[in-house]
A and B are shown apart, each in its own frame.
Chain A
Amino acid sequence: MSFNLHISDSEQAYFDGLPLSSEAKERINRFIADVSDEFRLNPENRPSPDSPYFYAQYIILDRWGDGRVHTIDFHVRDDQAQFGVLLIVFIDHH
C-alpha cells in the first residue's frame, strides 16, 4: 500500500534545500510512501509501542549528484495510517 504523505511547508523547505539530486529525492520520496506496515509497526522503529510516530533511517548513494552516501532520518506520524495518510513531522540529513 502506498501512502499519501503529508508534510508542512517548513519540512518540505528543509527537504528541498538538501544537497541531493532530484533523482535521489525521488527515491527517498518513494521509500517513505511505500513503507511497509511490517517496518512501520516494528517496535524497533517506534519510540514506544503506543507512540503515534515511527522512525526510518535511509541511506542513498547520490550517483546523480555528489557521488556520496547520504543519511536521511524521517520521523513520521502514522495514527492516520488506516486512512492511507502519513504525516512527516521531522526530517534530518547528516
Chain B
Amino acid sequence: MTTLLIPSCERRFLQTVEEEIAAAPVRQWSQQTLRFCFRLLRDMREGSASTREMLEATLAGGIEARSFSHNYGPLLAAIDDRIGGVRELVRRLSPAEDPGSEGLLAELHLLEQEMQDARDLLVEALSRASEAPAPVDWNRVRVSEEAYARGETKLFSRR
C-alpha cells in the first residue's frame, strides 16, 4: 500500500539533490540541472497532492477502522521520511544566496506543505482509528432488544 502511494525513488531523488548541493553551490549548477530539479520537485508535489486526494477519497467513502490502520499506518513513516528529506534540503540551501537557491527553497516549502497536509489528515485518521470503543451501555442494548421482541424496531435509515 505504501509503495503504491509514495514512490520509493522520491527518497533517492532527494538524496541526489542533497549530494549536488554538497558538491557545488546552486549558482554553479547548469541550467539543465536546475530545471531538472524544479521539474522533479513539482512532480513530487503533484504526487503528494494525489496521495492526499486518494486518502481523502478513501476516508470520505468510509472504512472499517482496523483495516484502515493496517493498510495506511505504514504510510506515515514513508511521509515522515520524505518530509525529513525535504527539510534537510531546506536546511542545506538556507539562507538562499542566489536566485536559483531561492527558487528551489520556494519549491521545497510548497512540497513540504503539501506533504504536511497529507500527513495531518493521515495522523487524524489513524488517531481516530485507534480509539478504544466506549463501554457498551447495556441498558440501551436491552431497550433495543425489547423493542425488537415487541416488533417495534424499524429499518435503519439515514436522515
Mark contacts of B103-145 with chain A using CB atoms, 8 A cut-off: 1 yes-contact digit, 0 otherwise.
0000000000000000001001100110101101100110111
Q: In the bound complex, do residue B61 and residue A89 qualify as a contact, i.e. CB atoms below 8 Å apart?
A: no
Q: Knowing A8-B148, A87-B153, A88-B156 touch, does A71 contact B131 (C-beta < 8 A)?
A: yes
| Complex contact B60–A60 (CB within 8 A) | yes
The reply to whether B152 and A9 contact each other, CB–CB distance below 8 Å, is yes
Does the CB pair B153–A7 fall under 8 Å? yes
State whether B66 touches A57 (Cβ < 8 A). Answer: yes
Q: In the complex, A70 Cα to B63 Cα: how many Å?
A: 11
Asked if A1 CB lies within 8 Å of chain B CBs, one says no
Q: A55-B133, A73-B134 are in contact. Are A8 and B152 (CB under 8 A)?
A: yes
Contact with B along A10-53 (1 / 0, CB 8 A): 11100110000010111111011100000100001000000000
Contacts of B131 in A (CB 8 A): 57, 71, 94
Interface residue tally of chain A, by bracket?
35 or more
Confirm or deny: A66 has a beta carbon within 8 angstroms of a beta carbon on chain B: no
User: Interface 1/0s, chain B 52-86, versus A by CB < 8 A?
Assistant: 00001001111111101000000000000000000
Q: How many angstroms from the CA of A14 to the CA of B121 in the assembled complex?
A: 27
Partner of A6, one of B56, B133, B134, B153: B153
Within the assembled complex, what's the spacing in Å between the Cα atoms of A64 and B99? 42
- Indicate if the CB atoms of B159 and A33 lie closer than 8 Å: no
Q: Which residues from B are CB-within-8-Å of A88?
A: 144, 156
Min CB distance, A31 to chain B, in Å? 5
CB of A81 closer than 8 Å to a CB of B? no
CB distance from A18 to the nearest CB of B (A): 10
Chain B minimum-CB-distance residue to A7: B156
CB contacts (< 8 Å) of A63 on chain B: these are 56, 60
Complex contact A73–B133 (CB within 8 A): yes
Cβ contact within 8 Å between B59 and A60? yes
Assess the A69–B124 pair: CB atoms within 8 A.
yes
Give 16 CB contacts A-B under 8 Å: A5-B156, A6-B153, A9-B147, A11-B144, A12-B156, A25-B159, A27-B62, A31-B64, A33-B156, A39-B64, A57-B64, A58-B65, A59-B68, A69-B124, A90-B137, A90-B140
Q: Which residue of A7, A44, A61 has the most chain B CB atoms within 10 A of its CB atom?
A: A61
Residues of B within 8 A of A33 (CB): 156
Shortest CB-to-CB span from A42 to chain B, Å, is 10
